Structure 1
Amino acid sequence: MFRFRLTVVIVVSFGFVLFLGIALYWGSNQVSRYFQRSQTAYEAFDRYERLSQEAYRHFKQRMDRLITSSPTAEAGVASSKNRLYEAMQELRNTAIQTPATGNLIGDMQDKPAEMSRVAHFTAFLDASEYWFDEVERLRQQGKNEMAVQTLSKFSEEEIDGKFQPLIDAAINAEREKAANAKQELENLVAQSRWIAILASVVAAMFSLMSGVFLLHGVRKPIETLMKSTEEIASGNLHYRISLDTRDEFAYLANHFNQMASKLELQQDKLREGHALLEKRVADRTFELHGLNEELKRMDSERRTFLADLSHELRTPITIIRGEAEVTLRGQERNAEEYKDALLRILELSMQLGKYVNDLFFLARAETANLQFEWDSVDLTDLVVSAVENFQVMAAENSISISLDASNEPIWVRGDKQRLRQVLFILGDNSCRYSKLGGHIGIALSTDDKEAVFTLTDQGIGIPTQDLDRIFDRQFRSQNARRSRNDGTGLGLPMAKSILNAHGGSITVASTENIGSTFTVTLPLLPAGQNGS
């Protein structure tokens, strides 16, 4: 119902606006037509004025020529005749080309009258030429008196009796047309003003009545809805709206009641969920309490570990400092005593280095995030350089090292420093676990599309049961732990990670107490992509 009433008001209001628009459009068109008509009348008035002036000027020039017969008068006659006929042609063209609009009665009536006047003027000008030619003929025959009488008769009868009335009638007609157009324009403006005032008054009265009517229809439902929203907002979800209408407000009230019912149901569920959440929070709190106790225990163990570690580090550092201070404070000593002090300092430094090395590997194992700088790498050059470093490490245990490799470059794509790290890990393990006076054999070759690097030592070997776990993080075989206690079990896993990033692989074959052979493969660079 309310929607229907609102639609009616909108349609009627739109009708008023449309009516005003049409009225204004019609009025503006009429004003434009009357203004154009007035403008046309004034322009025609100017053309008739010009025609009159040019005609009298031409008549005067012709008369002067008949009297004086001078060449100057002859030139003036030709010039005035041209201007006269130009003015006449302009008037004729305007009369022919100006269409009657058909919307104003005056336009339809003025068109034939305009054409008739133009025809009369044309006929008069043609007749005037005949009169002047006749006067010229009489003068040439020596009949000057008869020529003067004819010229005087033309001036009185034709110019004053016919031409001047035609000009006056034409000018008066155009003045009357302009005056009529002006009067009609004023009447139209007055009518448009009254139409606008009347339409505005009717529209204002209708808007006022429509507003009162609509306000009376919506005031009570809106007040009811506002009261209901206040009740719901205050938490009274049991409140329901009661409207006895059959319009959109009743529909809105019904949905509002449904919303209140759903909110009430959701509030009950929220209470249940809140209770369940409190129970779960209590359970989680208990779990967090247990985890907190575990964290405290782990923190205590960490503190103990750091205390033990600091003690282990402090002891050799203290002894080293003490040995150095005692040696420096004492009196002059012989070379053997200095050598003994330096040996003790060296042993403690090596012990300290072992602790630092363990910490370094442990920290790197937990936080390392390897970065690679890819480039073309000559594996032959890299292996030859690494073998020279291995020989320095092997000299301590009198271990010999041999290299079987071609002098030709073998190009692979990789990070040179990371690949050197892999070689150092394998070489360091072989030197550390090889027997005194043993031998390490290193070979480098190519196989189809791969570069193959092998390292064979005569060390303690790896037990068969440990071969599958040798590349696991922090794993060390039993014989390795018995042989040396300074390892971390991180070297081989790191080497495997580096090789996997390069698309390569590492394998091992070993026999306990005989030795091990590590084989590394890397994909070769295609021909044309190497660094040569």
Structure 2
Amino acid sequence: MFRRRLTLVIAISFGFVLTMGGTMFWETNQVAGYFQRSQRAYEAFDHYQRLSLEAYRHFKERLDRLITDSPAAQAGVDTSKQHLYDAVSALRATAVQPSAEDRSDWSGKSAELERVAHFTAFLDASKYRFDEVERLRQQGKREKATQLLSKFSEEEIDGKFQPLIDVAINAERAKADKAREELEALVKRSRWLAIGSALLAAAFSLTSGLYLMRGLRKPLEALMAGTNEIASGNLRYRLALDSGDEFAYLAKHFNQMAQELERQQEKLRKGRSVLERRVAERTQELRQLNEELQRLDNARREFFADISHELRTPITVIRGEAEVTLRGRERDPEEYQDALHRIVELSEQLGKYVNDLLFMARAETTMMQFEWDGLDFAELIGGAIEDFKVMAEENALSVSLRLPDHPVWVRGDKQRLRQVLFILGDNACRYSNPDGHIAAALVVENGEAVFSLSDQGIGIPAGDLERIFDRHFRSENALHSRDDGTGLGLPMAKSILKAHGGRISVSSTESAGSTFTIALPLSKQSPTG
């Protein structure tokens, strides 16, 4: 609807401007035509005046030539004659010049051409009369020549030429006056037309402005009110415009936007509630984790207290055994041997506690020291397996080893890597069934030295495989099999291998055995290379 109104106003305005432009163009052409006619009339008027002046000057020179027979008089006649014919040529050129305005007045054009023809004929006849007078003068008949010249002057010049000149001048003056009057009338009419057009344009502008404003005021006020409501946070506000025009379409989309904003705000509100709930949950989880950390810290404190107690017990027993053995009478050698055996066992147990405590302290403070060097991993494994065989014989276990026939160079701490091998070998011997077999092998794969150790022991439950490298963790079957473990051996091995850039993994089947695999990156060159 509003678009049609605007299109109608634009079309009327365009038609009005086009009409005014056409009218002004026509008026301008008319003014230019009248001005040109006036200019041509004044130009013809000037040509006739020049013709009259040059004609009388020529006639005077002719009279002077009759009175004084001198070369200067003859030169004056020739000069005035040339000027006279130049004036006639200029008048003829003006008369025959085509003009768009003159095409509407062919009668006036014909009269002007006829006057020019009369002037030309009169000048030709006057030339003949003057030549006749000149011939009489040359024959010595001055009196007769003078009479003929006087008669020509009275009858032809004064009686015919001068009236003809006067008529032509008056005609051109009348044409100029008429053109000037028409031009003034046209200018006056154009002035009133401009005033009328301006008044009409002002009236049309005011009317069309009021017409458009009446259609704009209500929807604009409604849209402004709607934007103010939305800006203030009232997303439930809806515009009510049923005008059926573009503003109604805009109001519809405005309402859709408000509805979408309201829906998004509701989603944000729900999302904030969910976020607050999740933050509360995470806070609760952090609180639980903090409690778990406190519990672990308490457990560590208890562990240290237990270790301290366990350390005090062997030391006290050792000291007591030694004091009892040394106190009193002489004893049999067997009694001394029994006491020494008990002291050795307690010392071994004490040494194990000390090593476990030392490892835990170093792991907690990241103070483990390494002495890096290039070493033959195959040679190191061979020596460690020989020590395993001693432990294996006590449990009636057999040990096999498969090594490559060339050195396998790695970079690391020899004593730390030996400690890793002892941890794996000790576990294999401790948790293997009697008459079992331990298989060890070293291979080179993908730029790594890969060592595997398999036993036929109690195995590890599938649910515990991911936790056996955690500190202090021991699987249920290990707890039932032996109660002298602390759960620090495998975490210690993992820490040592990680420091070497290696890794450790395990595969196991409960009651069937386990296979531990370690991998170390190969050294690029031997120590002597």
TM-score range, shorter chain: 0.5 to 0.7
Is residue 176 of structure 1 aligned with residue 119 of structure 2? Answer: no
CA shift, 1:508, in A, is 9.2
Aligned to 2:112: 114
CA distance in 1, matches of 2:281, 2:148: 140
Q: Which residue of 2 aligns with 1:164?
A: 162
Distance 1:278 1:139, change over 3 A: same
Amino acid across the alignment from 1:202: L
Work out the CA distance in 2 between the residues paired with 1:109 and 1:191: 28
Does residue 154 of the first structure (1) align with residue 97 of the second (2)? no
SS at match of 1:242: coil
Give distance in 2, aligned partners of 1:277 and 1:43: 100
The letter of the residue matching 1:265 is: R
Q: Is the 8 A contact 1:16 1:199 kept in 2?
A: no
Which amino acid in 2 is paired with 1:14?
F
Match of 2:203 among 205, 208, 212: 205
Structure 1 residue 24: Cα displacement: 1.5
Q: Tell me, which stretches of 5 or more residues in structure 1 are unaligned?
A: 291-428, 430-462, 468-474, 482-506, 517-532
Q: What's the offset of the Cα at 1:127? A: 0.4
Distance 2:102 2:162 in 1: 33
Structure 1 residues 477 and 119, CA gap change in structure 2 (3 angstroms): farther
- Correspondence for 2:255 among 245, 254, 257: 257
Report the counterpart of residue 67 of structure 1 in structure 2: 67
From the superposition, tell whether residues 477 and 45 of structure 1 become closer, same or farther in structure 2 (CA, over 3 Å).
farther
* Conservation of the 8 A alpha-carbon contact between 2:102 and 2:109: no
Structure 2 residue aligned with 1:138: 136
Change (3 A) 1:127 1:510: closer
TM-score (norm 1): 0.53
Query: Are 2:5 and 1:15 aligned?
Result: no
- Matched to 2:53, the amino acid is Q
Cα gap change, 1:218 to 1:508, in 2 (>3 Å): closer
- Superposed CA offset, 1:93-123 (max 9, x none): 2222x213147744x4432222111111111
Q: Distance in 1 between matches of 2:25 and 2:40?
A: 22
Q: With structure 2 as the length reference, what TM-score do the two structures score?
A: 0.54
Q: Which residue pairs with 1:377 in the alignment?
A: none
- 1:484 paired residue number: none
1:158 is displaced (CA, Å) by: 0.9
**Paired residue for 1:466?**
409
Name which of structure 1's ranges 123-132 and 170-179 shifts more when overlaid on structure 2.
Answer: 170-179
Counterpart Cα distance in 2 of 1:94 and 1:285? 111
Q: State the 1:152 CA deviation.
A: 0.5
Gaps of at least 5 residues in structure 2 are: 290-372, 374-405, 418-521
Using a 3 Å threshold, how does the CA distance of structure 1 residues 41 and 509 change in structure 2: closer, same or farther? closer
Shift of 1:183: 0.4
The equivalent of 1:440 in structure 2 is none
Name the counterpart of 2:124: 126
- Which residue of the partner structure matches residue 215 of structure 1? 213
CA distance in 2, matches of 1:156, 1:284: 137
Residue 98 of structure 2 aligns with which residue? 99
Q: Which deviates more, 161-170 or 202-211? A: 202-211
Question: Partners of 2:251 and 2:526 in 1: how far apart?
Answer: 90
Matched to 2:98, the amino acid is P
TM alignment of 1:233-244, pairs within 5 A:
233-244=231-242
Runs of 4 or more, structure 1, over 6 Å off, are 280-290
C-alpha spacing 1:157/1:280, structure 2 compared with 1 (3 Å)? farther
Is the CA contact 2:61–2:77 (under 8 Å) kept in the aligned structure 1?
yes
Q: Output one character per residue of 1:341-377: Cα deviation in whole Å (capped at 9) or x when no partner.
A: xxxxxxxxxxxxxxxxxxxxxxxxxxxxxxxxxxxxx
Question: For the residues of structure 1 that align with 2:526 and 2:19, how far apart are their CA atoms?
Answer: 110
* Distance (Å, rounded) in 2 between the aligned partners of 1:44 and 1:192: 28
Q: 1:180 offset after TM fit, Å?
A: 0.9
> What amino acid maps onto 2:9 in structure 1?
V
Contact 2:409–2:526 (Cα < 8 Å) also in 1: no
SS in 2 for 1:236: coil
The Cα of 1:87 is off from its aligned counterpart by 1.6
How far apart are residue 35 of structure 1 and its match? 1.2
Question: Helix, strand or coil: the match of 1:180?
Answer: helix
SS of equivalent to 2:187? helix
Q: Match for residue 338 of structure 1?
A: none
Residue in structure 2 matched with residue 6 of structure 1 by the alignment = 6
The one-letter code of the counterpart of 1:90 is A
Q: Give the distance between the partners of 2:124 and 2:51, measured in 1 at CA.
A: 14
Could you list the per-position Cα deviations for residues 233-278 of structure 1 after superposition, in whole angstroms to 9, with x for gaps in the alignment? 2212122222232222221221111111111111111223334445
What CA deviation, in whole Å up to 9, does each residue of 1:440-477 have, x standing for no partner?
xxxxxxxxxxxxxxxxxxxxxxx94336xxxxxxx657
2:187 corresponding residue in structure 1: 189
1:51–1:84 Cα contact (<8 Å) kept: yes
CA distance in 1, matches of 2:69, 2:284: 140
Q: Could you say which structure has the larger radius of gyration?
A: 2
Aligned residue for 2:99, secondary structure, equals coil
Q: Is the 8 A contact 1:464 1:511 kept in 2?
A: no
Q: Report what 1:425 is aligned to.
A: none
Which amino acid is 2:146 matched to? V
Structure 1 CA distance for aligned equivalents of residues 25 and 6 of structure 2: 28
Superposition pairs for residues 20-419 of structure 1, below 5 Å? 20-96=20-96, 98-102=97-101, 105-106=104-105, 108-278=106-276
Q: Distance in 2 between matches of 1:78 and 1:476?
A: 137
Distance 1:284 1:151, change over 3 A: farther
Shift of 1:285: 8.7
Matches within 5 A, 1:494-509: none
| Counterpart secondary structure, 1:274 | helix
Counterpart for residue 313 of structure 1: none
Corresponding position of 1:492? none
| Number of aligned residue pairs | 313
Q: 1:283 to 1:69 in 2, by over 3 A?
A: farther
SS state of the match for residue 222, structure 1? helix
1:411-445 Cα shifts (integer Å, max 9, x gaps): xxxxxxxxxxxxxxxxxx9xxxxxxxxxxxxxxxx
Contact 1:48 1:167 in 2 (8 A): yes
**For 1:242 and 1:278, how far apart are their aligned partners in 2?**
38
d(CA) in 1 for partners of 2:92, 2:245: 73
Judged with a 3 Å threshold, the aligned counterparts in structure 2 of structure 1 residues 239 and 150 are, in CA distance, closer, same or farther, namely same
The separation in 1 between residues aligned to 2:283 and 2:104, in whole angstroms, is 101
- 1:102 to 1:189, Cα distance in 2 relative to 1, 3 A: closer
Superposed CA offset, 1:20-56 (max 9, x none):
2222211111111111111121122212111111111
> Cα RMSD (Å) of the superposition?
3.3
